[in-house]
Structure 1
Amino acid sequence: MIVKCKVKSIAPLASNTYKILLQPEEKIEFKAGQYLMVVMGLKDKRPFSIANSPTRENGELELHIGAAEQNAYAGEVVELIRDSLTTDKAIEIDVPHGDAWVKDSERPLLLIAGGTGFSYVRSILDDCVANKVNKPVYLYWGAKDATQLYAKEELVALAEQNEHVHFVPVVEQQEENWQGKVGNVLQAINEDFASLSEYDIYLAGRFEMAGAAREQFVANKQALAERMFADAYAFI
C-alpha cells in the first residue's frame, strides 16, 4: 500500500546514523518486525525496518538509517527526507512488508542485531514491553564500537525495569572503559548459550551474518531452522 507521509524530524543517533520520524496521512496496520519501503521512483523502492511497535500512539513511524559516505543507497534516502522536511513536502512509502514479524509463541525470544539492524529488533522488544509479555527476552546487539550502540543506556534501563529482559552489547573494537563483551556477536551467543532449541530467534544484519547464524546455531546449538526469522532468509 502506497501512503504519503510527513517528515516530522530527523536527528543524529550516531556517526552517519539518523533517527527519522514519519507521520502517515492514514493509519498504517503492520506487525512488529516488518519493514517499509521509501519510494524514490517508479521502480526504485528502498527497504528500512520500522523501529517502533504498532502500539505507538498517533500512528507515527520511526526509522533508524545508517548512511555512511560510501553508502549512497541509504544516503540518497536521507537527503530526500531532509529535503522533504525543509520543503514540508510529503514522501511516499510502500508498507507493510516482510514475513519475519514476531510470532505468537510461548517460547523465549533471542533478538540479534548487527549495526542498524537494531531497528528491527527494537520494534519487537518495544512490542513485547507494551503488551506486557513476561517470557524471557534476550537482546544481543553487535557493533563496530561503543559509539554505534546509540540506544545502550536506554536498553540498560529497560532491562533493569523488566526482570525478564536481558540486554547484551557486543563491540568489535574495545575501548579503555568498556565493560561488556568484545568480538563477534554470534560468537558471544555461542559462548553464552549451551542450547538454543527452546528459543524463537529473530535477527537483522548483513546477509552473511544471517546465513552464518542459521548455519552455526542449527549445527552447534540445536536451534530449529523453522524458528529462526530474518528478512534475509527470503533471499539467501
Structure 2
Amino acid sequence: MSIQCEVKSVESLACNTYRILLQPKQQVDFKAGQYLLAVMGEKDKRAFSIASSPCRSGELELHIGAADHNPYAMEVVEAMRQAMEGGRAFDVEAPLGDAWLREDSNQPLLLIAGGTGFSYVRSLLDNCLSRGMKQPIFVYWGGRDECQLYAHDELVALAAKHANLTYVPVVESAPPAWQGKVGNVLEAVNDDFVSLSSYDIYICGRFEMAGAAREQFTAEKGADRERMYADAYAFI
C-alpha cells in the first residue's frame, strides 16, 4: 500500500546512523518486525526495517546506516531531509515482510542483529516488553566497534529493568574497558548455547549472516528451521 508521510525529523545518532521519524497521513497497520519501501522513483524502492512497534503511536521510526560509501541508504536520508525542509510528503509502501513476531508462541526468544539490523530487533523487543511477555528473551547485537551499537545504553537499562531480558553486545574491535564480547555475533551465540531447539529465532543483518545462522544453528544447535525468521530468507 502506498502511503504519503510527513518527515517529522532526521536525527544523526552515531557512526553514520540516522533516526528518521515519519508521520503517515493514514493509519498503517503493521506487525512488529515488518519493513517498508522508501519510494525514490517508480522503479526505485528501497527496503528498511520499521524500528517502531505497532503498540506505540502512529509514527514510523527508521534507523538507517548511511555511510558515504553506501549511496543506497545515504540517498534516502538526503531525500527525506529535503522533503522535511521543503514541507513535502515522502512516499513509502508498507507493510511488507513475513519475519514478523509470532505473538501466539510461548517459546523463548533469540533476537540477533548485525549493525542497523537492530532496527528490526528493536521493534520486536519493544512489542514483547510492552505486552508483558514473560518468556526469556536474549538479544545479541553485533557491530564492528562500540560506536555501531548506538542503543547500547538503552538496552543495558532495559535488561536491568526486565528480569527475563538478557542483552549481549558483541564487537569485532573493542576498547580496553569493553564489558561485552569480542568477535563475531554468531560465534558468540554458538559459544553461549548448547541447544537452540526450543527457541524462536529472529535475525536481521547482511544476507550472508542470516544464511550462515540458519545453516549453523540447524546443523550444530538443533534449531528448528521453521522457527527461524529473517526477511533474508525470502531471497536466499
Identity %: 63
CA distance in 2, matches of 1:94, 1:191: 39
**Residue number in structure 2 paired with 1:151:** 151
Partner-residue secondary structure (3-state), 1:92: strand
What aligned pairs does 1:1-236 form with structure 2 within 5 A after superposition?
1-57=1-57, 59-103=58-102, 104-236=104-236
Q: Can you give the 5+ residue segments of structure 2 that lack an aligned partner in the other structure? A: none
Deviation of 1:12 (Å): 1.0
CA distance in 1, matches of 2:105, 2:71: 39
CA distance in 1, matches of 2:158, 2:67: 29
Return the letter of the residue paired with 2:205: G
Which runs of 4 or more aligned residues in structure 1 lie more than 2 Å from their structure 2 counterparts after TM superposition?
none
Return the letter of the residue paired with 1:97: L
Deviations 1:174-214, CA, capped at 9 Å, x for gaps: 11211110000000000000000000000000011001000
Q: Can you give the 5+ residue segments of structure 1 that lack an aligned partner in the other structure? A: none
Return the letter of the residue paired with 1:72: P
Return the letter of the residue paired with 1:155: L
Return the letter of the residue paired with 1:80: A
Deviation of 1:130 (Å): 1.1
CA distance in 2, matches of 1:180, 1:93: 37
Q: TM-score, normalised by structure 1?
A: 0.99
CA distance in 2, matches of 1:147, 1:70: 18
